[in-house]
Chains A and B, each alone.
Chain A
Amino acid sequence: MNFLQFSFYLFSVILIVAASLVVTVRNPVKAVLYLVLVFFSAACIWLTLEAEFLAIVLVLVYVGAVMVLFLFVVMMLDIDVARLREGFTQYLPAGLVIAGVMVAELAVVMLSGRFSLDAIPRPVGRGADYSNTRELGLVLYTDYVYAFEIAALILLVAIIAAISLTFRRRGGTKVQVIAEQLRVTKADRLRIVKMSSEITDGEKSQ
């Protein structure tokens, strides 16, 4: 077993253990953290496949941004685990049937021979100076440019739709008009009054 195989098995074991902990651990915040570990191990496995751009982007986007927001939301929610577990036995048969069907479907696809080791040619190993990122960029922006741009547009529309669906203007909220705040000068806010000094009653008596 060389180092590459060793690291593959190491990261795979970590990934599978963490993934099973995501669904079994009681605390939702810990579940999210295990999911972070799953993404991180997956990125490490991709690195051993020489897909360094995808691996780093997985860490950057999913671990660095998406999961942070996820964690943010889960921490804010008051999740009642007991209530979530209430219908467990009731839904168990249906869940088992669905899981069984999914496993069977996967087995049909996987055992069909299309995904066997002989069907997929062994990828050519590249040297350290081979730029994975450059190749990916060239393919994305030439051969697949329309698909890529359309996907970007769909994502943009999805963002706008999500915001416009959930954004409601409540009455009575106070909003600062920043432009007005920035335009303010000293003359608008401050009035300097010239006056002669006065002696108050307290000082007189001394």
Chain B
Amino acid sequence: MLEVFVEIWHSLPLVLQVGFKIAAILFPLLAMVAYYTFAERKVIGYMQLRVGPNRVGPRGWLQPIADAVKLMFKEIIIPTNAERQLFLIAPVLALAPALAAWAVIPFTDTLVLADIDASLLFVLALTSLGVYGVIIAGWASNSKYAFLGAMRSAAQIVAYEIAMGFALVGVLMAAGSLNLREIVLAQAGGFFQWYFIPLFPLFVVYLVSGVAETNRAPFDVAEGESEIVAGFHVEYSGMAFAVFFLAEYANMILISALTVIMFLGGWQPPLDMAPFTWVPGIVWFFGKLALVAFLFLWFRATFPRYRYDQIMRLGWKVFIPVTLVWIGVIGAAKFFTPFGFLFS
């Protein structure tokens, strides 16, 4: 029976094969996004001594589906003086890079859609495109609140992208490769080989920059509802708003996946011993991903929003120098001292 399916699979044209693989990544991803929103409301609810959504379906499990249906049937209102085409293209520009970057994410040693040589750079380049969705939405809405939100977001994302890029430079110096699969393979052999220990400053910088890059609390000045209503997506309604929402959560899951791959050993078990190695790699991968994704929710429930100038100061004057110093430390240790093995 199984051979028949394998044969059918190999007889399909390449385009169809890749298409099915893309669908196999995207549909679970979108389901994850939907239930991530549900998890957020539940987690923050319990942190604030509430129950969270519990009405739709058993224990509220159908809540995200109800939300999606509601948003789908709402009218999309386009403001009269908005730039119509750009207004409609902006949500797509926000979502597409967040989904496209999954093409190079290795779930396990063999389970990766495109194992390209410079996959780290590819991910970095694609995530840097997400800012266009925000800027164009803010500008095309023809609203001062949306515009202010877009300006804030652009400045913030450009600032934190540099820190993020430098943190990744440290990772690639340690692993000696730009390929995400090889970066994970370089961390084999137990949790003390994972890069979050030798590259701890870069790990912290990357994680916090990731929170800032996705416009999440406490760095969510781009939406800052107490100051500028809802920031860049204030004029969006219905499905157009939902696409922005999807993009934000897809980006959070992407950043979590990248943190797991680059600092927490990807699909590798925490100890290279019998009970841990029985668990398949993909379970470890998604387990770690869930842990990092939980941090995003925890941050949101814990910290008050940063002031705008504090965000800029943290990005430019704290994170970038920290990463630069640590890159110098790694380089010096590797080439001038016998302690280079600590960083690889």
Q: Does B136 touch A at the CB level, under 8 Å?
A: yes
Show 18 A/B contacts (Cβ-Cβ < 8 Å), sorted by A: A33-B136, A52-B117, A53-B121, A57-B121, A57-B125, A60-B125, A64-B131, A64-B161, A68-B131, A68-B132, A69-B158, A72-B154, A75-B135, A75-B139, A75-B147, A129-B117, A133-B121, A176-B309
Instruction: For residue A64, give the distance in angstroms from its CB to the closest CB of chain B.
Output: 3
- Using a CB–CB cutoff of 8 Å, the interface residues on chain B facing chain A are 86, 116-118, 121-122, 124-126, 128-129, 131-132, 135-136, 139, 147, 150-151, 154-155, 157-158, 161, 178, 309, 313
The digit string for A157-187, where 1 denotes a CB below 8 A from any CB of B, is: 0000000000000000000101000000000
Chain A neighbourhood of B151, CB < 8 A: 72, 75-76
* Contact between chains at A60 and B128 (CB < 8 Å): yes
Q: Does A65 touch B at the CB level, under 8 Å?
A: yes
- Using a CB–CB cutoff of 8 Å, the interface residues on chain A facing chain B are 29-30, 33, 36, 52-53, 56-57, 59-60, 63-65, 68-69, 71-72, 75-76, 128-133, 176, 178
- What is the chain B residue whose CB lies nearest that of A176? B309
A33 to B85, CA, bound (A): 12
* Contact between chains at A72 and B118 (CB < 8 Å): no
Supply 7 further A-B pairs (C-beta < 8 A) apart from A65-B158, A71-B154.
A60-B124, A68-B135, A68-B154, A68-B158, A128-B117, A130-B117, A133-B118
Instruction: For residue A20, give the distance in angstroms from its CB to the closest CB of chain B.
Output: 18
Given contacts A64-B161, A65-B161, contact A36 B132 (CB under 8 A): yes
Given contacts A63-B128, A64-B125, contact A71 B117 (CB under 8 A): no
Instruction: For residue A15, give the distance in angstroms from its CB to the closest CB of chain B.
Output: 17
* Main secondary structure on A side of the interface with B: helix
- What is the chain B residue whose CB lies nearest that of A72? B154
A194 to B59, CA, bound (A): 50
* Contact between chains at B161 and A56 (CB < 8 Å): no
- What is the chain B residue whose CB lies nearest that of A63? B129
* Contact between chains at A65 and B128 (CB < 8 Å): yes
Chain A neighbourhood of B147, CB < 8 A: 75
* Contact between chains at B313 and A178 (CB < 8 Å): yes
Instruction: For residue B173, give the distance in angstroms from its CB to the closest CB of chain A.
Output: 12
Instruction: For residue B130, give the distance in angstroms from its CB to the closest CB of chain A.
Output: 9
A129 to B117, CA, bound (A): 7
* Contact between chains at B118 and A53 (CB < 8 Å): yes
- What is the chain A residue whose CB lies nearest that of B139? A75
Chain A neighbourhood of B139, CB < 8 A: 29, 75
Chain B neighbourhood of A52, CB < 8 A: 116-118
- What is the chain B residue whose CB lies nearest that of A67? B132
Chain A neighbourhood of B161, CB < 8 A: 64-65
* Contact between chains at A64 and B136 (CB < 8 Å): no
Instruction: For residue A2, give the distance in angstroms from its CB to the closest CB of chain B.
Output: 14
Partner of B129, one of A59, A69, A129: A59
- What is the chain A residue whose CB lies nearest that of B126? A59
A106 to B55, CA, bound (A): 71
- What is the chain B residue whose CB lies nearest that of A181? B310
Chain B neighbourhood of A60, CB < 8 A: 121, 124-125, 128
